[in-house]
A and B are shown apart, each in its own frame.
Chain A
Amino acid sequence: MEKHHINALKEIVGEENVLTSAEDLYCYSYDATPGHAHMPDAVVSPANTAETSKILKLANENHIPVYTRGSGTNLSAGCVPTKGGIVLLMTRLNKILEVDLENLVAVVEPGVIVADLNKEIASLGLIYPPDPGTVATATLGGTVAENAGGLRGLKYGVSKHYVMGLEVVLANGDIMNTGGKNVKDVSGYDMTKLFTGSEGTLCVITKIISKLVPAPEARKAMMAIFKDLDNAGKAVSSIIAAKIIPATLEIMDNATIRTVEDYAKVGLPLDAEAVLLIEVDGNPIVVEKEAEKVMEALKANHADLVQIAKDDAERDKLWAARRAALPALAKLRPTTYVEDATVPRNKVPDFLREVSSIAKKHNVTIGTFGHAGDGNMHPTIVCDIRIPEEMERVYQAMDEMFKAAIALGGTLSGEHGIGLGKLPWMEQQHGLVTMNAMRSIKRALDPNLILNPGKLVGEC
């Protein structure tokens, strides 16, 4: 980028909203993914759609790469400005524009923090359910661009089930509107769904129309400990077969259990092969009935210990183990990779076994926890990125892990996105025909390849 480009950007957003000092640029060279960092040439924060449009027009005409960023909590290097250029910081667009109680819809700007939207609508008895681990920090723009999921995915779905419409700026600066407040809408290609999860490679999101749902009135949490992984897997299947869709159905493997116990001393037996955490929510009467059925399913599948929370304090106790999973693992070693390979629900025990044998084979520490109900696992690899020999083993383990997920009919990413992190395995999962189709879409909407270039579909 040249001096006159910087000056032009300052003209658009004002001097104070263009950062160019080495120190500031360094702070936007990374996201939450280990091992990827690159300095941008400028960090630009627009105040609105019009400014965003002007920035993209300028970037497109001058072939300057643009990396859209919210809070930078991405776990697949999606925010890393790998080719320099502009980091487009969307956090100044942070207003909740409308909460429409008749249509149960919110219209928000992309810089709004997910938890802030939920705080705002809580008093109205509503929730926006997608709740990735970063709800308290991540922006809606970022979570929609990544199609983020979370703990409640099984019952409530993920971001794409809530995005009804978008305002986006295309690579050439054109402003485009998709979808709207209509519950049913089959008019044209579903561009809303295409852009949701496009990881900043097709457009920049400037407004989101999202569905809201009534907050559940009651909830009930249960925990079960299994000495045998297969029994845990069967328990999950039995719960679903009993036609219960819990809001949360989490699993932790033995490596995670041992780490959590060592760190938080919550009383988990060290020889347990799996812990399930289940929460049902909804109408109080239904919740009671469903909890009963879940308890039956757990006992019928030989859970070695079951607990049910009588009140919120007990619920917190049951959740403590699951909440401690990531912090406990992360504290073991300096570098933490939280992966999100996902398999069909009934393959969860197979996948967990694969992961632990891969870990053993390469002498790598991997703890797996995750959303058993929707098959979305989080094999968490802890290591030290400063030790090259160890990293060799880590990369080999990762490679085998992703291949194992694909072989089980799974997918590389359930909710973190592909970005750069999982790019090497994309063709393996999708095949050349699909990859070419995806790349054609990319080229059609971004012919100069300025939007998050090299990510998601790779080089075009």
Chain B
Amino acid sequence: MTEKITAKDINEQDKALLSDLQDALANCMKCGNCMEVCPVYKEVGKEAAVARGKLSLMEGVLKGSIPLSAAFDAAMSKCVSCKACTAKCPCGVPADELILRGRQAAVKARGLHPIKKKVFALLKNRHLFDFSLRMAGIFGPLSFKKIPGKMAALARFPMPGMDYKRVTAPFASTPLRSQYPEVIKVDRPTMRVGFFTGCTINYIYTDVGQSVINVLKENNIEVTMPSMQHCCGTPVYMSGDVDSAKILAKHNIETFDSYNFDYIVSACGSCTEAFRIEFPHLFHDDPKMSAMTEKLAKKTYEISEFLIDVVKIDKTKLGPVNATVTMHDPCHMARGIKVTKQPREVLKSIPGLHFVEMKAPDRCCGSGGSFSLGNYELSRKINDKKIADIASTNADTVVTSCGTCRMHLTDGLFQNNMNQDALHVIQVLDRSYKAGHQK
């Protein structure tokens, strides 16, 4: 390897990035408790797969003992960012964040992975991004075969970066935000809410977005989907490209701030986490942005959390949904924004619905956002455990609060020849409201 870049080189490039990393890494006492909960380590079985190994590798690079190599890069990428290690750590080491820093160091030293580079370049250009994904919705059926009755599709022929057998969701022919006016009026609104749709809901799971709008309308809430909103930046941030993440974050912050909403609502744990935790983190040293970001963070809610904690929905309006439902907690809900009670309360408010808790509902489903793109086999193995846990509940429906979790669960159910529905919590509530009208 001639293009080895040593700690000294990075040090010269970015001293601040390193110095605070060194202290954080020193706090890991190498007890290895993270091995108990790391879904990747459970499958791979090698020390470099678990947080303790990854943090040691970073230490090794900082000491100059090992190079910032392709193998280092590969080790850092083998993480679903489920935060289970951080939640488990007796020393309070934020391992998931440190691993992101490791990725950032790798990006700084070696550049982004070429495929990601192309995707992220596209992502930074909102118009081009929107255009491409609309085209995907229009021309998608040519390359994907829809699975009847499900929001799912199989590739018709091998595609680069995609496993042939994998089930994904079809791109919508009309994105959510084009299906509605920007402002969705109601008579005598009780409040004005900005809906941050996120990419999966706008371009793929428009059914979830429709349910969010329906439910908010049921509660006399005026919904606005700012047309200029864009990807929250989490995928780029998670890949270590902080500069791009900042561009996307700033765009969204300025967009949402200009509307002066009462609340901002999202139906995705990761998007909510972006507004609430990531954005303030990205701009903590920028006084002007920081004030605006903190203000938005305080009024951002995940949809179930919003309905239970803020709206305090009137449960007498709900009609019966006869289903046996189990729930998967997305990592960024359970350990990111720590919202697990409210979605359960939503479900338990629905008459006729039988809720069954699965084993370890907050264990990662293996999707890891874009992790499953580059590591499909591994994410499949992690997911198979989740699918087995779903099967043992005998539920006919599994619900979650994240688009990529839903997609990965749908794939897992298909691969394991199971027929359960995989839905977002809000879709079940939407059905319940509809049933309530028929009472």
Quick check: B90 and A26 within 8 Å, CB to CB?
no
**Interface footprint category on B:** 20 to 34
**In residues 71-129 of chain B, which contact A (Cβ within 8 Å)?**
71-72, 75, 90-92
Segment among B61-69, B165-173, B198-206 that sits at the interface with chain A: B61-69
**In residues 240-255 of chain A, which contact B (Cβ within 8 Å)?**
none
- Knowing A21-B71, A22-B67, A384-B26 touch, does A32 contact B46 (C-beta < 8 A)? no
Quick check: B48 and A27 within 8 Å, CB to CB?
yes
- Which of B23, B32, B67 meets A73, CB within 8 Å? B32
Quick check: B46 and A27 within 8 Å, CB to CB?
yes
Quick check: B47 and A136 within 8 Å, CB to CB?
no
Quick check: B26 and A19 within 8 Å, CB to CB?
no
Complex CA gap A336/B56 in Å reads: 16
Segment among A327-335, A411-419, A436-444 that sits at the interface with chain B: A327-335
Shortest CB-to-CB span from A350 to chain B, Å, is 29
Quick check: A30 and B30 within 8 Å, CB to CB?
yes
Shortest CB-to-CB span from A327 to chain B, Å, is 4
User: Given the complex, which residues of B lie within 8 Å of A384, measured CB to CB?
Assistant: 26
- Which of A23, A45, A72, A92 meets B66, CB within 8 Å? A23
**In residues 1-52 of chain A, which contact B (Cβ within 8 Å)?**
19, 21-24, 26-34, 45
Main secondary structure of the interface of A (DSSP, over half): loop
**In residues 362-409 of chain A, which contact B (Cβ within 8 Å)?**
384-386
- Which of A19, A22, A32 meets B31, CB within 8 Å? A32
- Which of B32, B45, B72 meets A134, CB within 8 Å? B32
Complex CA gap A28/B47 in Å reads: 7
Q: Is A178 an interface residue (CB 8 A)?
A: no
**In residues 73-114 of chain A, which contact B (Cβ within 8 Å)?**
73, 91-92
Complex CA gap A385/B56 in Å reads: 15
User: Given the complex, which residues of A lie within 8 Å of B30, measured CB to CB?
Assistant: 30-34
- Which of B29, B71, B90, B92 meets A23, CB within 8 Å? B71
Quick check: A336 and B26 within 8 Å, CB to CB?
no
Complex CA gap A92/B36 in Å reads: 16
Q: Is B235 an interface residue (CB 8 A)?
A: no
User: Given the complex, which residues of B lie within 8 Å of A19, measured CB to CB?
Assistant: 46
Q: Is B152 an interface residue (CB 8 A)?
A: no
Per-position binary interface string of chain A over residues 328-357, scored 1 when its CB falls under 8 Å from any chain B CB and 0 otherwise: 001100111000000000000000000000
Closest Cβ neighbor of A135 among chain B residues: B36
User: Given the complex, which residues of B lie within 8 Å of A143, measured CB to CB?
Assistant: none
Quick check: A335 and B46 within 8 Å, CB to CB?
no
Closest Cβ neighbor of A326 among chain B residues: B90
Complex CA gap A384/B23 in Å reads: 10
Count the A residues whose beta carbon is within 8 Å of the partner chain — how many? 34
Q: Is A71 an interface residue (CB 8 A)?
A: yes
Quick check: A71 and B35 within 8 Å, CB to CB?
yes
Closest Cβ neighbor of B35 among chain A residues: A137
Shortest CB-to-CB span from A180 to chain B, Å, is 31
User: Given the complex, which residues of B lie within 8 Å of A23, measured CB to CB?
Assistant: 48, 57, 60, 66, 69, 71-72, 75
User: Given the complex, which residues of A lie within 8 Å of B72, measured CB to CB?
Assistant: 23
Per-position binary interface string of chain A over residues 304-339, scored 1 when its CB falls under 8 Å from any chain B CB and 0 otherwise: 000000000000000000000011001100111000
Closest Cβ neighbor of B25 among chain A residues: A334
User: Given the complex, which residues of B lie within 8 Å of A22, measured CB to CB?
Assistant: 66-67, 69, 71
Shortest CB-to-CB span from A150 to chain B, Å, is 15
Complex CA gap A70/B67 in Å reads: 27
Quick check: B32 and A71 within 8 Å, CB to CB?
yes
Closest Cβ neighbor of A382 among chain B residues: B29
User: Given the complex, which residues of A lie within 8 Å of B53, measured CB to CB?
Assistant: 27
Closest Cβ neighbor of B32 among chain A residues: A73
Closest Cβ neighbor of B74 among chain A residues: A23
Quick check: B90 and A330 within 8 Å, CB to CB?
yes
Closest Cβ neighbor of B31 among chain A residues: A32
Q: Is B394 an interface residue (CB 8 A)?
A: no
Shortest CB-to-CB span from A418 to chain B, Å, is 19
Shortest CB-to-CB span from A115 to chain B, Å, is 8
Quick check: A24 and B46 within 8 Å, CB to CB?
yes
Shortest CB-to-CB span from A326 to chain B, Å, is 6
**In residues 24-61 of chain B, which contact A (Cβ within 8 Å)?**
26-27, 29-33, 35-36, 45-48, 53, 56-57, 60
Closest Cβ neighbor of B73 among chain A residues: A23
- Knowing A26-B66, A335-B26 touch, does A32 contact B48 (C-beta < 8 A)? no
Complex CA gap A150/B75 in Å reads: 34
Complex CA gap A331/B31 in Å reads: 13
User: Given the complex, which residues of B lie within 8 Å of A134, measured CB to CB?
Assistant: 31-33
Quick check: A336 and B29 within 8 Å, CB to CB?
yes
Quick check: B29 and A34 within 8 Å, CB to CB?
yes
Quick check: A137 and B32 within 8 Å, CB to CB?
yes
Closest Cβ neighbor of B30 among chain A residues: A32
Quick check: B45 and A92 within 8 Å, CB to CB?
yes
Quick check: A27 and B71 within 8 Å, CB to CB?
no
Closest Cβ neighbor of B69 among chain A residues: A23
Closest Cβ neighbor of A384 among chain B residues: B26
- Which of A26, A330, A334 meets B56, CB within 8 Å? A26
Shortest CB-to-CB span from B5 to chain A, Å, is 14
Closest Cβ neighbor of A33 among chain B residues: B30
Complex CA gap A31/B31 in Å reads: 8
Quick check: A327 and B90 within 8 Å, CB to CB?
yes
Per-position binary interface string of chain A over residues 260-288, scored 1 when its CB falls under 8 Å from any chain B CB and 0 otherwise: 00000000000000000000000000000
- Which of B47, B71, B75, B90 meets A72, CB within 8 Å? B47
Shortest CB-to-CB span from A436 to chain B, Å, is 34
Complex CA gap A74/B112 in Å reads: 37
Complex CA gap A19/B79 in Å reads: 20
Shortest CB-to-CB span from A93 to chain B, Å, is 12
Complex CA gap A407/B30 in Å reads: 32
User: Given the complex, which residues of A lie within 8 Å of B46, measured CB to CB?
Assistant: 19, 24, 27
Per-position binary interface string of chain A over residues 131-144, scored 1 when its CB falls under 8 Å from any chain B CB and 0 otherwise: 00010110000000
Closest A-B pairs by Cβ, 3 of them:
A27-B47, A327-B90, A334-B26
Task: Return 16 A-B CB contacts under 8 Å, by A number.
Answer: A22-B67, A23-B71, A24-B48, A27-B47, A27-B53, A32-B30, A32-B31, A32-B32, A34-B30, A73-B32, A92-B45, A134-B31, A137-B32, A137-B36, A335-B29, A385-B26
Given contacts A23-B69, A27-B47, A327-B91, could you give 7 more A-B pairs where the C-beta distance is less than 8 Å?
A: A24-B46, A26-B66, A32-B30, A32-B31, A72-B47, A330-B91, A331-B90
> Chain B: residues with CB nearer than 8 A to chain A?
23, 26-27, 29-33, 35-36, 45-48, 53, 56-57, 60, 65-67, 69, 71-72, 75, 90-92
